Amino acid sequence: MLLRLAPIILAILYGLLMWKFSTWRLRKEMDARSELLEDPALHPTLDRLAQALDLPKIDLHLYKIDPVNGLAAPDGRIYVTRGLYDRVKSGFFTYDELASVVAHELGHVALGHARRRLIDFSGQNALRTVLMIALGRLLPFGIGAWVANMATSLLAARLSRRDEFEADSYASALLIKSGIGTQGQKTLFQKLDQMSTGMGRPPAWLQSHPSSAERIKAIESNERAWGLGQKV
């Protein structure tokens, strides 16, 4: 019995080791290419978020890469990329929209998504192994392995979208509590859509993030459930 389970156990251990290695490599990369973001114009926004969370302050780090993004490191540090921050300084994004990115990443930290993704990643490796063994006996020419990889990719994308919706909901609640509101959260998604117009996208079921329209709809649904109703 133990011998039969050996491939699954090895897949789980492999997933754990790969996750640990990837997070170590990411942390090393971010430490080398980031710094504490010191912007007096940003302090009032961060102070409002910190006050809503009963924290003395929120440190925001600048990750010096060009893509527009925000990130939450496994150790809880919050980053925005240079590509995003430069667009704030140019006036394309507002500070309220930047606050929505920070609130979203704080949601990932508060909801334990890094730890959940570690568990999910290990489970997906185990599932992939089981499917490859089972389907490999039924489907020839490597088709079983392809189906196994596709199935686990679909599952990974679905779980990632779940996390994004949860972080969005947390961010909305935090932004409302801080007095900033969700207007910037919704206009941010609209602007991100403008930036990605014309770019090829994978099918919805393979995307790691929900569409902007879906995210705005979920935010407004939450607002109605909370007795609010502001729209863009």
What residues does each domain of the chain span? Answer: 2-225
pLDDT of residue 79: 95
- pLDDT range class, residue 74, cuts 50, 70, 90: confident
Short-list 122, 204, 208, 205, CA closest to 165: 208
Kindly give, in sequence order, each residue whose CB lies less than 8 Å from that of residue 122, ignoring residues fewer than 6 positions away.
11, 12, 15, 16, 19
Q: At 66, is the secondary structure helix, strand, or coil?
A: coil
232 pLDDT band (50/70/90 cuts)?
very low
Residues 134, 137, 138, 139, CA torsion sign: positive
pLDDT digits over 166-208, tens only? 999 999 999 999 999 999 999 999 999 888 765 545 555 446 6
Give the rounded percent of residues in the chain with a pLDDT score beyond 90: 51
pTM for this structure?
0.77
Q: Is the pLDDT score of 141 beyond 70? A: no
Do 166 and 39 touch, CB atoms closer than 8 A? no
**107: confidence class by pLDDT, cuts 50, 70, 90:** very high
